[in-house]
Structure 1
Amino acid sequence: MDLDDLFPGKPEDPLTLLQRQDLDPLSVDELTARIAALEAEIARIKAKITAAVNHRASADALFRK
Structure 2
Amino acid sequence: MFDEEEKPKPKGIQPLDLDMMSIEALGDYIAELETEIARVRTKIDAKKSARGAAESFFKS
Please report the TM-score for the alignment, with normalisation by the length of structure 1: 0.71
The answer to whether residue 20 in structure 2 is matched with residue 25 in structure 1 is yes
User: Counterparts of 1:1-65 in structure 2 under 5 Å?
Assistant: 13-15=11-13, 17-18=14-15, 21-65=16-60
Q: Where does structure 2 lack aligned partners over 5 or more consecutive residues?
A: 1-8
CA displacement, residues 26-65 of structure 1 (integer Å, 9 cap, x when unaligned): 0111000000000000000000110010000000011111
For the aligned residue pairs, the C-alpha RMSD in angstroms reads: 1.9
Segments of 5+ residues of structure 1 without an aligned counterpart are 1-9
How many residues align? The count is: 52
Q: What's the TM-score once normalised by structure 2's chain length?
A: 0.76
Give percent identity, aligned residues only: 38
Hey, what's the Cα distance between the residues in 1 that align with 2:20 and 2:38?
A: 27
Q: Return the alpha-carbon distance in structure 1 between the equivalents of residues 12 and 47 of structure 2.
A: 23
Distance in 1 of aligned mates of 2:26 and 2:12: 18
Letter of the aligned partner of 1:54 in structure 2? S
